[in-house]
Structure 1
Amino acid sequence: MPVNAIKLRNRVMLFTEPVVTSKTVAIGFWFSVGSRLERDGEHGITHFTEHLLFKGTRTRSARDIACAFDRIGGYVNAFTERENVCVYCTIPGGTESVGTALNVLCDMCNNSVFPEDEIERERAVVKSEIASVEDDPEESAMDRVSECVWPGQSLSTSITGSSEDVDSITREQLLDWYDKYFVNGNLCVFAAGMVDSDFIAEKLETLSLKSDVPIEFTEQGFGKLPVWKNGFNFIKAGFNQTQVFELFPLAMPVSEKDYYTAAVFNAIAGDSMSSRLFDSMRERSGLCYTVYSFFTFYADVAAWCAYASCDNDKAVSVASLFIDEIEKISRSGVSDAELEAAKMHLCGEEILGSEDMEFRMKRMQRNYSMGFNLNDTSRILECIRSVTKNDIIEFIEKLFDFNKMAFVVYGKSLSMKSKRNILCRKK
């Protein structure tokens, strides 16, 4: 069934995708706030606020919130990104469970009270989460990579902030942030599965939710647009494995056609077990266990990244092979067989994902936020299948500007000889 979009009387945008064969519902409350809006003295405040949404409202304790979802056999969670916060749940279908979920989610997002004792307990939990990120080589490396390619800019600041940042945040700051960006912020609600669109709309409109104009997630209000920094970076870190990244910026905005072309290209390059990078670096060379590629999209900038994790003594070989493979794709393009295999892979992923209501809910949000049509699964499969070899060739020509390439090696110190061997690969 088609996606329904409606702007409610309280200015909340509601999107629903009824799936008649589903017995479950996924609901997501998406707020236009993230670490990108934070300034000095505020780093980590969005993520901290997200945690505290679960710690009690005027009429519900933290346990009441947990029990409400446990009793209907569902689950509730949330996450913070650089431009969004999402509070979401997956529950059994039916007006009773959907009504319960909406009541609790709206209460959390409109009436949270941030008790002092809960703030201090959760402060310790958030600091523990930060420590776990710092202990994870891949996660900690991702933050450092952002700092390399968008240095000194809000887009590259850590989502969680540091332990020192979290220690400095006061209850008054948290309440002000919550009031500005949650109670009176920009809210879109997405629901997929066994949903009654009219019931959800009516329920949301009876609750005291408010929504304001969308936030422009650009650096314009702060003097500049995000500026990409190319070049080679060697960052010392105390992990056994070395992380290697090769990145290229992608011009925004991206059309719907370009988005699916990018997805097909990425499946060929590094997003599957038969991809160029996986086959070359793991299967044929045995240089690493983990290797893949991905796109990162923000409101006004985007990037493609190839990533591998390897032993320190293999870092030069991995870096060299990365550059070789990307140059080969840039120079020779892709084969017809690779193109068809990539499209089949993506179509299969889309069909599998369509069985998951949380996947559908997040897909709606992605399409809306990027200005795409709110397509259903069948239309998305058509978009994937419509990508041609010429589309891929033109996309590769735009993406691989080696004058803009950024390269990051994150791990144990490399010898000067090893660094020179990597640097000599500059085009």
Structure 2
Amino acid sequence: MKSISLPDGIQKTVLPSGLRILTESIPHTRSAALGIWVGIGSRDETPSLHGASHFLEHLLFKGTHKRTALDISSEIEAVGGETNAFTTKEYTCYYARVLDADLPLAVDVLCDALADSLLDPDDVETERGVILEEIAMHEDEPGDEVHDIFSEAIFGNHPLGRLISGTPESITPMTRDQINRFYRKRYTAPEVVIAAAGNLDHAAVVKMVRKAFAGTPLDTEPAAPAPTRPWEKPVRLQKPSTVVVRRDTEQAHIVLGGGGLGRHDERRFALGVLNNVLGGGMSSRLFQEIRERRGLAYSVYSYASQHADAGLVGVYAGCAPTRAQEVLDLIRVELDRVATDGITAGELLRGKGMVKGSYVLGLEDTGSRMSRLAKSELLHGDIMGVDDLLARVDAVTVDEVNAVAAELFSGSGGRSLAVVGPFDEADFSA
């Protein structure tokens, strides 16, 4: 067992099994946040297992040899805590927030659920129905659906372009044995990071975790922690395209953009600044031009999504269908302008301030502190101190931002467009 101290009072212990435990002590709080993060997500699924990670996320709360589904939820709620989970394309997280005195209970409950789930066949059928309803509900939210359509337009049939939830065609035939094999093969100790933040003691947390996992499938032979996800080979992007999904909606939902940067790209700090200048707040170019000056949309913003070996950038707008073309034209003008002319020195300062402020203000609660630990370890392989990260943002120059803008937002190679609304493909053929 190896323990080390990291920046900002963070401590890390690697168990012989390869499982990693990271904590941040925040003595002035009376709460603690605990997360069990597994470096497996929807991009790790074969086509026949499309949606298995999300399916498993549902099933791990349905009962173990020690607890029923009711026991799992009621034991945490009885002490005023909360527990939940979520699945992404590259990892899955199971978490709880409790009073500091109840952290041992949270560790025991979550570790039990993760390591010893029964995956009862009846529960599989019940959750299959729940997930199919969840997929249908998602299709009734065009403002969310359009982002999935855009992602598929960028990544195509690559796993990054698929829905995290799976589809009715993949979820309906998936068997309990398939899910269980995925569970036991992929949920191994080297893939697991346990993070906790709050009023806690690191050594005590390590002791709790070791006790909770003793004798379970995660109490395994010595192994090294799983390396960060490989990123040397970039994902091949699709040719620019237009995808229109007809829905009789009151609003048109639009995303325009293209490929971005992977999360290991050193230019990601410049992209963060650029994103805020372009469409990251009420003072951004897109918000000022489209909403404030012209009143054409209630919601308009830019965003960047980053994966290990790929990324995308997009601009979203929700507007009246009769204004969709005008809004699209304005978005294109702003993208062309920032790609050609770049940003100003004043915008650079404002963009840096927004990046730094959102990061620091986002660390004001134990849940976000816990997430920072796990994501840093799982996705980057190390933890950058807050001061170091702020210094990296401060070091961004106008030239660096403008170079990223020219590469990512130039329309010379074409842009992909996703639209959900009362339209046909022909409406955007131009």
Q: What TM-score does the superposition give when structure 2 sets the normalisation length?
A: 0.89
Is the contact made by 1:47 and 1:80 (CA closer than 8 Å) also made in structure 2? yes
Task: State how far apart, in whole Å, the 2-side matches of 1:76 and 1:26 are.
Answer: 10
Cross-structure match for 1:410: 420
Question: Which segments of structure 1 move beyond 4 Å, counting only runs of 4 or more?
Answer: 210-213, 215-220
Aligned partner of 1:214 in structure 2 is 226
Q: 1:338 to 1:376 in 2, by over 3 A?
A: same
Q: Summarize the Cα distance change of 1:246–1:120 in structure 2 as closer, same or farther, 3 Å threshold.
A: same
Aligned residues: 414
Q: Please tell me whether residue 295 in structure 1 is matched to residue 304 in structure 2.
A: yes
Q: Is the 8 A contact 1:10 1:205 kept in 2?
A: no
How far the C-alpha of 1:251 sits from its partner, in A, is 4.2
Show CA shifts across 1:200-245 (max 9, x none). 112222323247653775699xxx9631123230313214122221
Alignment of 1:2-151 (within 5 A): 2-94=9-101, 97-151=102-156
CA distance in 2, matches of 1:372, 1:396: 28
Match of 2:4 in 1: none
What is the TM-score normalised by the length of structure 1?
0.90
8 Å Cα contact 2:21-2:193 kept in structure 1: yes
Partners of 1:259 and 1:202 lie apart in 2 by: 38
User: What is aligned with 1:235?
Assistant: 244
2:191 matched residue in structure 1: 186
Aligned in 2, Cα 1:382/1:239: closer, same or farther, shift over 3 Å?
farther
Where structure 2 has 5 or more consecutive residues not aligned to the other structure, the ranges are 1-7
**SS at 1:159's partner residue?**
coil
Q: 1:127 to 1:253 in 2, by over 3 A?
A: closer
Give the equivalent residue in structure 1 for 2:201.
196
Range moving further from structure 2, 179-188 or 102-111: 179-188
Contact 1:247 1:303 in 2 (8 A): yes
**Structure 1 unaligned blocks of 5 or more:** none
**Shift of residue 167 of structure 1?**
1.9
8 Å CA contact 2:254, 2:418 repeated in 1: yes
- Given that 2:339 and 2:410 are in contact with CA atoms closer than 8 Å, whether structure 1 keeps it comes out as no
Deviates more, 1:82-91 or 1:113-122: 113-122
What residue number does 1:347 align with? 356
Query: Residue by residue, what CA displacement relative to the aligned partner does 1:122-143 show, whole Å, maximum 9, x if unpaired?
Result: 2221111111101110222222
Secondary structure in 2 matching 1:41: helix
Q: After superposing the two structures, state which structure 1 stretch, 72-81 or 371-380, moved more.
A: 371-380
Instruction: Indicate how the Cα distance of structure 1 residues 381 and 328 shifts in structure 2: closer, same or farther if over 3 A, else same.
Output: same
Q: CA deviation at 1:190?
A: 1.6
**RMSD across aligned positions (CA):** 2.3
Q: Which residue of 1 aligns with 2:276?
A: 267
Tell me, yes or no, if structure 1 residue 163 matches structure 2 residue 168. Answer: yes
Say whether the 8 Å CA contact 1:247–1:306 is kept in structure 2.
Answer: yes
Letter in 1 for 2:91: N
Identity, % of aligned positions: 28
Structure 1: distance between partners of 2:43 and 2:89: 5
Give the residue type in structure 2 aligned to 1:174: I
**Which AA in structure 2 matches 1:163?**
P
Asked if the contact 2:153/2:243 (under 8 Å) is kept, the reply is: no
